[in-house]
Chains A and B, each alone.
Chain A
Amino acid sequence: MLSQIWHWLNERWPFSTLIHLALDEEIPGGSRFTYTLGSALLTVFMLQAVTGIMQLFYYVPTVDHAYDSVNFLRTKIPFGWLINGLHYWGANAMIILIALHISRVFIWGAYKHPRELTWLFGISLLLIVIALSFTGGPLSWDQKAYWEAEVGTSIPGSIPVLGDTIKRIMRGGEEMGQLTLSRLFIVHTAILPATLIVLIGAHLIAFRRSGSVGPWNEAQGEIKGQFWPDQVFKDALIGTLIILALITLAVFAPKPFNGAADPLDSSFVPKPEWNFLFLYEAIKFFPGRLEPIGAVGVPQVLVLLLVLLPFLDRGPERNPLKRPVAMACGILFWGAIVALTIAGYYSKPAAGEAPTPPSLVPRVTTFSTTAQSGAQLFPSQGCIGCHRVNNTGGTIGPDLSGEGLSGRSRDWLTIQIRNPKAHFPNTVMPTFASLSDKEVNDLVDYLLSLKSGISPSSAQISNKPSAPKPSSESPTNVPAQTSQTTSSPSQKQIGPAADIIGNADRGAELFKNQCSLCHGPMGTDKIPNPGSDDGIVPALNPIDRELFSKNPEEFAENIDKFIQHGSTPSGPNTQLKMPAFGDTNSLTQQQIANVEAYVLRLNGVNRSELINPGITPRRFFFIVVPAVILILLVLGGIYRCLP
């Protein structure tokens, strides 16, 4: 019956012939494990294709939802963590396997006549895979990915004459944004994979045309082995082991949740993926105006060397021991890349490389309005928690009512706000690194206007100098957004930050600068808050039971209202008030999400917890990996016992 169907099919389409062409091939010297690298690459590519398509069911290439959609897949879709993890580690495996595959072909001298085209198709495949790696990383639109794309598109932009045009084509305009993401997406998911498939076909046809090169010792090649099933078996075995390794990496070394892309957060130090580190390091040898040579020239020379190899090295000898010059060059080539990669791994960015936020507002010079805006920043940024102006404010820091008469310069005050430790190494004043230049400028204008207690907007922002009243009756001394009682924030809306999975490590840094002064270094300290009913600033570690939740989303929503809108603890004359970090834009939503992730971590809750993993990664690992190994051992045992 089956053979009849097979016959019927083959009468109409040459299945049998094609299978014969693909599988029936003699291998000089027999099958070997060293020959499995090519098919291992094909296996991983197929895995990339499948996991890539799976991700497309969930991913959207929009700047406002790309990061959320990836995290939705990772944390809420059964086995989404596996799909994303396999794709991430599979991409890394592709690069490593290509490097090994090229090295093997080089050592075996398999690029020589008549296999030059096979080699060239292979080098094209290498370039496509590198391009896939470059365009794939930024699609998650997280903080690391964003800056990688920013730097990655700036590099070609440094090419003389054509650079600007190339950069515009890559970014879809002058600046990074939605069009950049759309372009990266279409190139990564359609153009490059399609090109790759065509080139793989060309590579394999060229390979079959001349056949396997076999051992360099001609005598060994006399005895022929079979591709099917001998070599295919070895290929399948290696492919299986690689997939097991990728599963292991996806389980035990998941990609970190880097926090959403934040163009305004210039404190992030971007560093490329490991496979571009050599380039990153090489650029440093070409400082200043020479940088384009390093950034563009070096990779061009490397590619040119690879392309020209079969035409430069034309001797028929394939034994590596008898090709000292070629081998020395090869070792030098790899040695340089490996050394640069290692150096790049341990180094920091070159000076001046840190990108500046693209949308800084130019300094406003109108005195009165800037001082007005500074007067509003003073309470909203929490300055008033420590500094007293016209009898209002905290007493931790010096009274600033007469700061305009102190004779301190504009620059001195700017530095004091940006980096107080520059003036007073032991100060407890936090660094207000998140303020924009304009905001600092406004604050400085406000401070300089404080002369003998008359401020430009004293009516709006401060109580009358005498007779402080209970805050419930007095005119508000904080902006309208800041609430009067502790309960108000819960009635307000949660902000976008509550739905973003932040990065707790980045949050820890922000917490140190923005929150630790009042909440204590780890959120544990009970800092006194004179004038409030509680008498202390609420501790965040452990946090109020009413705010706590084991569900990371609920927990984040509970604390988000306070960070967005601030709060004023109830009390007759509360000194320390929670600033409205969200309403005043003193922290971006991405930064708030990071701080929330950190506060959750302080309370033992993981913001990036896998809410719906299907099977938890570790359990999946302990089911799958032993099962595969067991099956391999049993089959291997049967195989050995066969006659």
Chain B
Amino acid sequence: MREEQQPILIEKFSTTRRTFLKLLIGIITLFIGLILGIPFIQALIVSKFKKAKLAWYKVAEVDSLPVDQPVRLNFFARTDDAYRHETTVHSVWAVKHSAYEVTVFSPICTHLGCYYKWDAGTNHFECPCHGSVFSIDGKVLGGPAPRPLDTLPARIDNRVLFVVWEQFKVGVAEKVAV
């Protein structure tokens, strides 16, 4: 019945009511936009995942490494990349000091995440991207790198070197795991 009476009512609509109706449409649209928009943006930001268990990976026989000479070591590690769970090759730089002491660097430059190289001529690590230079103990000697090279947890077990593969935030002065 109300439906049928409406045409007559419409004629009596006051300007105030019309204006309010327009406002009302705006408010409803905005509100629904927020209710869906906030979660949708949240979905794009992607909050931090709970860290997977860190595992020790066998990297090399310590005896095979030269003393005080950086060596790039490749090894297989299980990578969890979103929905892909695969065993892929990772690499680290290892500097052996003695049979019981090895420093292991992440191969990723602390500036913007490029993979740096060892220059045997200058005895420095050099990043090809923006020219950061690091000493053999990882200190910044030049270029834009904000912090020394990142060391990775390493242990020697029965003359075998094990490391934990971790990644850190680049471009910041502190070493923060990602």
Residues of A bordering B, CB below 8 Å: 29-34, 47, 50, 54, 57-58, 65, 68-69, 71-72, 76-80, 82-83, 86, 220, 223-226, 228-230, 232-233, 236-237, 239-240, 243, 493, 499, 554, 611-612, 614-615, 620, 624, 627-628, 631-632, 635, 638-639, 642-643
Contact = CB atoms under 8 A, between A and B. Distances in A.
A86 B14 CA distance: 38
Contacts of B18: 229
Interface of A is mostly: helix
Contacts of B14: 642-643
B27 interface: yes
Contacts of B47: 78, 612, 614
A59 to B, nearest CB: 10
Interface stretch (B78-86, B125-133, B136-144, B151-159): B78-86
Between B20, B25, B83, the greatest number of chain A beta carbons within 10 A of the residue's beta carbon is seen for B83
6 contacts: A65-B84, A72-B82, A236-B24, A237-B28, A243-B36, A635-B27
Q: Secondary structure of the B side of the interface?
A: helix
A236 B49 CA distance: 38
Contacts of B3: 32-34
Interface stretch (B4-12, B56-64, B110-118): B4-12
Interface in B29-47: 29, 31-32, 35-36, 39-40, 42-47
Contacts of B21: 229-230, 233, 639
Contact of A631 (B4, B10, B22, B27): B27
Given A33-B3, A54-B43, A225-B7, 15 more contacts: A50-B36, A54-B44, A71-B83, A78-B39, A79-B40, A82-B39, A83-B43, A223-B7, A224-B7, A233-B21, A233-B25, A236-B25, A499-B83, A614-B39, A635-B27
Contacts of A50: 36, 40
A78 B42 contact: yes
Contact of A232 (B6, B7, B25, B43): B25
Contacts of A78: 39, 42-43, 45-47
B8 A223 contact: yes
A643 B28 CA distance: 22
Contacts of B20: 638-639, 642
A69 B83 contact: yes
Given A69-B83, A223-B8, A614 B43 contact: yes
A521 to B, nearest CB: 32
A72 B83 CA distance: 6
Contacts, number: 118
Contacts of B39: 78-79, 82-83, 614-615, 620
B46 A77 contact: yes
Contacts of B27: 631, 635
B163 to A, nearest CB: 19
B43 A236 contact: no
B90 to A, nearest CB: 17
Contacts of A643: 14, 16-17
B28 A223 contact: no
Contacts of B36: 47, 50, 86, 243
Contacts of B53: 554
A612 B49 contact: yes
B31 A631 contact: yes
A236 B6 contact: no
A31 B10 contact: yes
Contacts of B84: 65, 68
B16 A642 contact: yes
Contacts of B28: 236-237, 240, 631-632, 635
Nearest to B52: A553
Contact of B7 (A29, A65, A76, A243): A29
A639 B24 CA distance: 9
Contact of B49 (A30, A76, A79): A76
Nearest to B16: A642
Given A220-B4, A232-B25, A243 B82 contact: no
A615 B16 CA distance: 40
Nearest to A612: B47
* Interface-central residue, B13, B36, B84, by most chain A CB under 10 Å: B36
Contacts of B25: 229, 232-233, 236
Closest 9 CB pairs of A and B: A223-B7, A79-B39, A72-B83, A68-B83, A30-B7, A229-B21, A499-B85, A78-B42, A30-B6
A32 B43 contact: no
Contacts of A80: 43
A473 to B, nearest CB: 28
Contact of B43 (A79, A225, A229, A639): A79
A223 B43 contact: no
Contacts of A233: 21, 24-25
A225 B7 CA distance: 7
B42 A614 contact: yes
A365 to B, nearest CB: 40
